[in-house]
Structure 1
Amino acid sequence: MARIAANIVADVCRRITAGELRPGDPLPTGRDIAREQDVSVSVVYHALARLRQDGLAERAPDGTGLYITERAPAIAATWRPPNWRGAPRREDADPLYLAQVVRTAIDIADADGLATMSMRRIGERLNTANVTISKHVQGRAHLLTLMADAAFAEHPPPQRPAGDWRAQLEILYRHQWQMYRARPWLAEAVWFRRPQLCPHEAAHAEYAAAALEPVVPAAPTRANLVATAANYVRGSAMNLDRLPAESGEDEPDTVAFESGLQRLLDGFARLIP
């Protein structure tokens, strides 16, 4: 039951980061969620209790229903279920403080690169000790995972275009390419072969899998194609040549990326009847 309830909370977090639910908006009723998710009401009530406990929702002053809190967007960007493999296990971990740590780490990486991001610099920015941060973050690898997922939370999968699987994958991977170009450190932090993808990275993978499902019925084959394409985009971003474009020309690295993407999808097409 706990895992299903955590999935419900994760879905609410996704909707918050996507702007579908905003501070002050009412949550659907427990019965509506149960009907939508096809789960028991008791599981939903467990999820609603978790939403309140983690600061994502609160009861209205008149006692009618739950509403999204003002701090929910910051918490949702880094929320993890209690049994998530990379989550802090300390009872004193505060979701809002964790969001501040992750946001500060991202700001440092955006400004000066990933190599300059350290617990010491984060502590200096937040005017806190490293030992306080360690209560919320289990080392650099865990922090990079949280940073990557928070970055993906800011860029949910695009609207599906008209067209077949190829048109959908093209728009998704061009979207990811622009994400990596805007944040060069992100390609180093994300990993699409981790045993359990974080929620917002998973949303991109699910988008690609759904595009391929009508033409690639075998789930293991779909998963391999999705991972191959995502890691092509990531790998290309990790090797940006950053050569300046001539006047009136596209940037060389983007031209190379687009050419490679088309050849990759040509290969996918040969596997599809």
Structure 2
Amino acid sequence: MTDSEAPYRRIAADLRRRIADGELAPGDRVPSTRQLARDWNVALATATKVLALLHSEGLVRARPRVGTVVADRVPGREPPPAGQRPSAGRQRGGGEAELTRERIVRAGIEIADAEGLDALSMRGVAARLGVSAMSPYRYVDGREHLVLLMADAAFGEQGYPRMPPPGWRASLELTGRVLWGLHRRHPWLAGLSPLTRPLPLPNLATHADWALRALDGLGFDETEMLDLHILLYAHIQGLATHLESEARAADASGLSEQEWMDRQGPAMEAIVSSGRYPTFGSILRHFARTGYDLDLDALFELGLKFLLDGIEAEGARRLGRPPAKPTDCG
């Protein structure tokens, strides 16, 4: 079988046709690697090569928390015919000699942002960069090593001002919002490791140090300070896991969040009408009239406020100060 007859090229040609015909418009999500593998009965590595090829042709791009989408067209510029565009690893004239650990890490992050961490493979990263399958191993020991490098790079994308804001609360709020923003940008971070197995990442330690400095001097001992820091991170990580799991659920079921909820209507109605759960049923009947939007950003802010209010009250008690009035974290 020639390379032009390879399955990944046939699948890419089909997607290319759908884009050209307008069936997939700019901004539309293209099938994920898992969906392509399922629909075409090919391996995930093959499906990864499909999206890598279309990405190298400028036809698709990664959109964090959405997936791979059709790229915006540039007026007057059409992508070159299949097979005539130089691969990503050779576009700048240096061939694979220009491959660096930083490029490999960035390619891995782009794949994980668009498709989830399950779609990440060393072969897929090589395909995205247009280099041989073994080339990344000259810079990265393997997938596990790559994931750690990706996580450290992601946690290092946003830091803190040289001078902290006035007051411990403002500093801890900033820690929470920075970490929430990074998990929002890279949902796969939430599934890397349980709290019981913390990752020794320098850039993650930066966030821990900032949070612990904010808690220092409030009357808590070392164990309590670390526990409070872990509670803050657990709040962020716990909510962020749903960003990734929702994307997986939508991909596996083909249903949006609202479509899935609509299908649960009869089962929910049976729970409400049973009379066995009066308070829960009353709440559901209320929202059946008014509607309810489960907003993870709002839940993050609510949880952050209650956590900081509790720290404020307990710290004031230990230091013999009157507790401050609760404030709005928003």
Distance 1:221 1:141 in 2: 32
Which among 155, 160, 163 is matched to residue 158 of structure 2? 155
Distance 2:111 2:208 in 1: 27
Q: TM-score, normalised by structure 1?
A: 0.55
Partner in structure 2 of residue 258 of structure 1 = 301
Q: Matches of residues 73-222 of structure 1 in structure 2 within 5 Å?
A: 97-158=100-161, 162-189=165-192, 194=197, 197-216=200-219, 218-222=221-225
Contact 1:148 1:190 in 2 (8 A): no
Partner in structure 2 of residue 225 of structure 1 = 228
Residues 228 and 169 of structure 1: CA distance in aligned 2, closer, same or farther (over 3 Å): same
User: Unaligned regions of 5+ residues in structure 2, if any?
Assistant: 1-96, 248-256, 259-291, 319-330
Contact 2:193 2:199 in 1 (8 A): no
SS in 2 for 1:264: helix
Distance 1:190 1:102 in 2: 19
- Read off the aligned partner of 2:309 and give its amino acid letter: D
User: Unaligned regions of 5+ residues in structure 1, if any?
Assistant: 1-93
Larger of the two Rg values belongs to structure = 2
- Read off the aligned partner of 1:167 and give its amino acid letter: A
- Read off the aligned partner of 1:266 and give its amino acid letter: D
**1:250 deviation in Å?**
9.0
Contact 2:187 2:240 in 1 (8 A): yes
**Identical positions, percent:** 37
Distance 1:159 1:107 in 2: 29
**Deviation by residue 1:72-122 (Cα, 9 ceiling, x = unmatched):** xxxxxxxxxxxxxxxxxxxxxx9x722221111012122333222211111
**1:135 deviation in Å?**
4.3
Q: TM-score, normalised by structure 2?
A: 0.46
- Read off the aligned partner of 1:260 and give its amino acid letter: G
Contact 1:158 1:171 in 2 (8 A): no
SS in 1 for 2:187: coil
Answer with 213-222 or 131-140: which moved more: 131-140
Contact 2:127 2:133 in 1 (8 A): no
Count residues in correspondence: 176
Q: Matches of residues 61-76 of structure 1 in structure 2 within 5 Å?
A: none
**1:153 deviation in Å?**
1.5
Partner in structure 1 of residue 31 of structure 2 = none
- Read off the aligned partner of 2:190 and give its amino acid letter: A
Aligned-residue CA RMSD (Å): 3.1
